[in-house]
Amino acid sequence: MGELAVEKHAQYILSVEKRKDDFESLVMEHLRLNGAYWGLTTLDIMHKLGSVNPDEVVTWILSCQDKESGGFGGNVGHDPHVLYTLSAVQVLALLDRLDAVDVDKVSDYVAGLQKEDGSFAGDIWGEIDTRFSYVAICCLSLLHRLNKINVEKAVDYIVSCKNLDGGFGSIPGGESHAGQIFCCVGALAITGSLHHIDRDLLGWWLCERQCKDGGLNGRPEKLTDVCYSWWVLSSLIMIDRVHWIDKNKLSKFILNCQDLEKGGISDRPDNAVDVFHTYFGVAGLSLMEYPGLKPIDPAYALPVDVVNRIFFQK
Amino acid sequence: MHGRPRKATKQEDPAAAAAKSARLRVLQSQLLHFHHNRIYTKEAVSVSSKLLDINPEIYTGWNYRKLAFQHNLKEVSDTDTDTETIKSAIEDELRMVEVALRRNPKSYGAWYHRKWILGQKLVLANFDHEFRLLDMLLKADARNFHGWNYRRFIARLKDVSEEEELKFTMDMINTNFSNYSAWHNRSMLLSKLLRKKVKGFHEEESILSDEFELVRQALFTDPSDQSGWFYHLWLLDQTSTPHKPHLVSSWPSDKLNIEISAQFKEKCERFPIIFCFNQQVDGVNLATVTVNSKLVSSEHITWKPLSANNSRKSKIWVAFLQNFNKYCDNSEGLSVEISLHCCESIVHLKFLMKLSHMDHQGKNGDGFEELFLWDCPKSQEINPYLVSYDPWRLRVESVEEDAKWHLDTLSAEIALFKEMSECDEDSKFVKLTLARLLGAHNSIKSGGSSYFEEILKLYDDLIKLDAPHFSYYRDERSLVLLDQMTSSKDSLVEYCSRCENTSFSCINPQLCINFSGLNLTRIGFVERLLWVQILDLSHNNLTSILGLEALQLLVCLNLSHNQIMSFTALEPIKSLQSLKVLDLSFNEIGSHPVDTTRYLCSSPLSHTCNVTETMEELARENIKIGDFWEAILLFESLQLAQLDMQGNPVTNERFRVLVEKVIPCLKWLDGKPVR
């Protein structure tokens, strides 16, 4: 099997951080905070977080915060949204700088997005999606403020999005999709509610995502993609069914998606790389205990030592 | 981010590229400027149009447009041209969305903007236009879930009936069988219609028969497409799972005579009563369960669901008779009658507890002065629990009555798939579906011929045919094997042995069930083993012991030489308060940095328990509880007398010291006396 080109990928990530003016970067500018999370978490998993200046990162993250609402936008001047608020909290957790924010202000912003039926909107404009349920629950849990929401109703809403194939969709009745499944399983894991899942049924649906090329797809009859190495794999791990896929074949698939010249990992072999797929490829390898990588927590999507620090150190 | 080739097919002219970037940069800063300064003129809004056309993912742009829309509507004075202005403003927004969807039919921002506009209900939506837009988009990509979700939204807005939407799924399926999205929607709509018993959907059996017919066509037309196979699995589940929950077994079982050993009756203060249901239930409480006996009145009995978290529902419910030993003294014994009125079933149990004076060769103390050894010879002795053993005992009659259509349908499907498997040797889905059908038939039809050997062979074939998924097939195979082994007293007696040095437990006789060396990867059918006190599962391939929590009488458990990877996988053991002897030697605890049962146990990470007193105490002694929390939470809840941990990477001197601290009543560790 080929090897993970850790040095190349670290350099690729650091270069993305500097590159802001080409078309590709501009088009992603609105989610730069997500990019920071993907890049920095990947660096930490590869034991390379030291190449980054934490103070600079923290300053920039805080500049993305909307002072009025407490939420974070994807970049400076962009509107607050729960997706970027989670990334901000995750990066601060990674750097052990959660003290840099007013925890109650941020958690009030997130908790305020919960609706009567337990669902969560992404922002004040009201789009509902189980992705936002996960994001809110993960964020509040990391801040030790889960008590600010109605957890029971949040769980009930997620369960209402459970499908007959064992999977979950974005809204009640929505088709099962590995990304949504990760979000729902993660949210149920964090709230101690995995008993709502038929783990054999879902586990089988998930393990059938592995295709002949060894990679995973997101739902039946779709193409394989490295990002599903995270969404499907972490879901399988949380429900203890990861042994139902062939990890060797998946590792080979991920390693084949590396750009060994310029660094980075792409969605499919020989496609263009980006930081999103670089993170998911490395995180997937970490979940499969690839040697030399820090283990990552499947529910919080942060290194295990970071999560343990948050929950076991007073 | 997706689907772009690494080497650009044509080199872009650097000047043109720079110009494109500059334009985007300018539009973005202009948008943010207008947005922050609340400028909503026509010119400003048209900047947002240009920007969202290039990049529909800039969510702040859609937010800006909503604010502009609201602002400009407020500006309109109360004249007759109102509705025209409103309509025109709405048209502008809908057109913007269509432009964006052409650029990216999966843009969350674009779809939500359309929903938001129409959801305002300022005017009646042009439903024809909406459905035409959807038809076009779903024709281009029948799997676009944004489209399907939006269709659900519009259907609700227009109040379209579920029956009509069901017809739409039929149209999509007829166009192309390979449409998982259509099959998914079909299953959801049908479930709803059947559950609500809508007119035309009363006869569940005839509806399901029609669906079997439909999916059969799909499977024959294109057996390599997965959609049909998943739909078939759902139909099978509808055909084989009883809708109503019912009791499958209990401890004690009806008419049982239980012998309590006189020597240890002082030690035995708690006696468990266990109910096992076929699905998770709630509602087992003082109102639904009455207990009649000299010992105790119902009010002093607390029913609890067995679960690793705060779930109020469980398949297994337990209560304890306290201080029963004080009442066993007379020759008649203690009679207990229980009535359960739960889940539409009524069950009556009556059992007798009697004292027996068996000679324990002068052993006293609580029975662990000597090491418990796992050498139990096979026993031909009559085991009173096996004599009355009948896994089908609680078969409720009504389940058998209703089962005729189910059994007929399953038999027909089985015949069909047997034929299919003869024509197509290499189809894993055919073999897997056949194995599932045979299994379902087994679970409904008690006694008679069962398909165990056939099913085992199918899974052996599947392991060869579909190697990447071999672990899944091995797990299924383990369950079938356990089903077979526990299906009758004749099969189970092969695995019984009598333990020699059993002088610690009060319920006689103390027989060992020996399931070692069977390549088991998981556990099942525990409802048939509730009476087991000594269980040997050594030398298997177990990574999970889920199910063992039901065995509330367990005193000795051997899990050595398996593949247990973490302490969290042992969560089921936490509820076994009678457990005294545990052998975990030669597993894989400590060699896996990634824990696959981390969220299936009680811990602060899942908010199912707090940092405990023991953990705080150990933290004060400078022990890094972050490194050992899994072991601490497990062992602090047990009253073990004997523990074996050697042969696991985690076991070293430091760890042994920790274990002795956390289990103060431990007498033996790795074969040596503690202190």
pTM: 0.95
Q: Give yes or no: residues B519 and B421 share one domain.
A: no
Give me the mean pLDDT over the A223-234 stretch. 95
Of B2, B6, B230, the CB nearest to A165: B230
Chain-centroid distance of CA B57 in Å reads 36
Which CATH number do you get for residue B476?
Answer: 1.25.40.10
Q: Give yes or no: residues B590 and B461 share one domain.
A: no
Give me the mean pLDDT over the B96-103 stretch. 95
Cα-flanking dihedrals φ and ψ of residue B327, to 5°?
-105, 0
Assess whether pLDDT exceeds 70 at residue B272: yes
Percentage of chain A beyond pLDDT 70 is 99
Q: Give yes or no: residues B569 and B601 share one domain.
A: yes
Of B148, B230, B307, the CB nearest to A195: B307
Q: Give yes or no: residues B584 and B662 share one domain.
A: yes
Q: Which chain B residue is nearest to residue A172, measuring alpha carbons?
A: B149
How much is the pLDDT for B330? 65
Count of domains in chain B?
Answer: 4
- What lies within 8 Å, CB to CB, of B656 at 6+ separation is B645, B669, B670
Last residue of a domain, one of B296, B325, B357: B357
Note whether B602 contacts A268, CB cutoff 8 Å.
Answer: no
Give me the mean pLDDT over the B225-248 stretch. 89
pLDDT classification of B359: cutoffs 50, 70, 90: low
Average pLDDT in chain A: 96
Residue from A12, A16, A23 to probe the interface with B (highest B Cβ count within 10 Å): A23
Give me the mean pLDDT over the B133-162 stretch. 94
Evaluate whether A232 touches A273 at the Cβ level (below 8 Å).
no
Q: Give yes or no: residues B481 and B496 share one domain.
A: no
pLDDT classification of A237: cutoffs 50, 70, 90: very high
**For B600, how many CA atoms within 13 A lie in the half-sphere containing its CB?**
26
How much is the pLDDT for B232? 95
What is the tens place of the pLDDT at every residue in B517-573? 999 999 999 999 999 999 999 999 999 999 999 999 999 999 999 999 999 999 999
Q: Which of A30, A49, A34 is nearest to A84 (CA)?
A: A34
Of A27, A237, A313, the CB nearest to B596: A237
Q: Which of B241, B259, B304 is nearest to B549 (CA)?
A: B304
Give me the mean pLDDT over the B627-656 stretch. 94
A18-27, A192-201, A277-286, B21-30: range with lowest mean pLDDT: A18-27
How much is the pLDDT for A104? 98
How much is the pLDDT for B583? 97
Residue B42 lies in a domain: yes
Residue B367 lies in a domain: no
> Which residues 221-260 in chain A show a CB within 8 A of chain B?
221-222, 225, 237-240, 242-246, 249, 259
Rounded Cα–Cα distance for residues B469 and A209 (Å): 11
Evaluate whether B338 touches B290 at the Cβ level (below 8 Å).
yes
Note whether B626 contacts A309, CB cutoff 8 Å.
Answer: yes
Measured between beta carbons, the chain B residues lying within 8 angstroms of A296 are 594
Transcribe B447-511 into DSSP letters: SS---HHHHHHHHHHHHHHTGGGHHHHHHHHHHHHHHHHTSSHHHHGGGEEE-S---S-SEEP-E
Q: Which of B182, B49, B139 is nearest to B103 (CA)?
A: B49
Residue B564 lies in a domain: yes
| Type of residue found at B126 | N
Percentage of chain B beyond pLDDT 70 is 90
Measured between beta carbons, the chain A residues lying within 8 angstroms of B606 are 189-192, 194
Residue B238 lies in a domain: no
Burial zone of A19 (CB within 10 Å; 0-12 exposed, 13-18 middle, 19+ buried): exposed
Angle among Cα B11, B16, B20 to the nearest 5 degrees reads: 115
Measured between beta carbons, the chain A residues lying within 8 angstroms of B1 are 28, 267, 274, 276-277
Residue B84 lies in a domain: yes
Last residue of a domain, one of B357, B392, B427: B357
Assess whether pLDDT exceeds 80 at residue B207: yes
Q: Distance (Å) from the C-alpha of residue A37 to the closest C-alpha of chain B? A: 16
Q: Give yes or no: residues B542 and B635 share one domain.
A: yes
Sheet arrangement for strand B304-305: B247-251, B270-281, B314-322, B304-305
Q: Give yes or no: residues B540 and B625 share one domain.
A: yes
What is the tens place of the pLDDT at every residue in A52-78? 999 999 999 999 999 999 999 999 999
Which CATH number do you get for residue B259?
Answer: 2.60.40
Assess whether pLDDT exceeds 90 at residue B39: yes
pLDDT classification of B357: cutoffs 50, 70, 90: low
Q: Give yes or no: residues B520 and B554 share one domain.
A: yes
Give me the mean pLDDT over the B244-257 stretch. 86
Q: Distance (Å) from the C-alpha of residue B622 to the closest C-alpha of chain A? A: 12
Note whether A192 contacts B602, CB cutoff 8 Å.
Answer: yes
Domain membership of residue B80 as a residue range = 15-123
Residue from B307, B562, B596 to probe the interface with A (highest A Cβ count within 10 Å): B596
How much is the pLDDT for B268? 66
Q: Distance (Å) from the C-alpha of residue A24 to the closest C-alpha of chain B? A: 9
Q: Which of B653, B344, B153 is nearest to A172 (CA)?
A: B153
Rounded Cα–Cα distance for residues B403 and B443 (Å): 11
Give me the mean pLDDT over the A188-214 stretch. 96
What is the tens place of the pLDDT at every residue in A94-136? 999 999 999 999 999 999 999 999 999 999 999 999 999 999 9
Which CATH number do you get for residue B497?
Answer: 3.80.10.10
Residue B523 lies in a domain: yes
Tokens of B507: 């319920």
Residue B616 lies in a domain: yes
Please indicate if any CB of chain B lies within 8 Å of the CB of A220: yes
Rounded to a whole number of angstroms, the CA Rg of chain B reads 33
Note whether A207 contacts B469, CB cutoff 8 Å.
Answer: yes
Four-CA torsion B506, B510, B514, B520, nearest 10 degrees: -20
> Which residues 126-185 in chain A show a CB within 8 A of chain B?
126-127, 129, 141, 146, 151, 163-165, 169-171, 173-177
Give me the mean pLDDT over the B82-92 stretch. 88
Of B17, B544, B629, the CB nearest to A240: B544
Average pLDDT in chain B: 88
Note whether A125 contacts B187, CB cutoff 8 Å.
Answer: no
Q: Give yes or no: residues B302 and B440 share one domain.
A: no
Question: Is the model more confident about B308 or about B138?
Answer: B138
Q: Give yes or no: residues B298 and B311 share one domain.
A: yes
> Which residues 70-89 in chain A show a CB within 8 A of chain B?
73-74, 77-79, 81
| Start-end of H helices in A149-246 | 151-159, 178-190, 199-207, 228-238
Assess whether pLDDT exceeds 60 at residue B363: no
Assess whether pLDDT exceeds 70 at residue B297: no
Q: Give yes or no: residues B514 and B661 share one domain.
A: yes
Q: What are the strands, taking DSSP E only, across B521-635?
A: 534-536, 556-558, 581-583
Q: Give yes or no: residues B421 and B510 share one domain.
A: no
How much is the pLDDT for B80? 53
Evaluate whether B575 touches B581 at the Cβ level (below 8 Å).
no
Rounded Cα–Cα distance for residues B303 and B316 (Å): 10
Give me the mean pLDDT over the B574-600 stretch. 95
How much is the pLDDT for B396? 55
Last residue of a domain, one of B123, B146, B170: B123
Residue B386 lies in a domain: no
Measured between beta carbons, the chain B residues lying within 8 angstroms of A193 are 309, 311
How much is the pLDDT for B567? 97
Rounded Cα–Cα distance for residues B17 and A127 (Å): 35
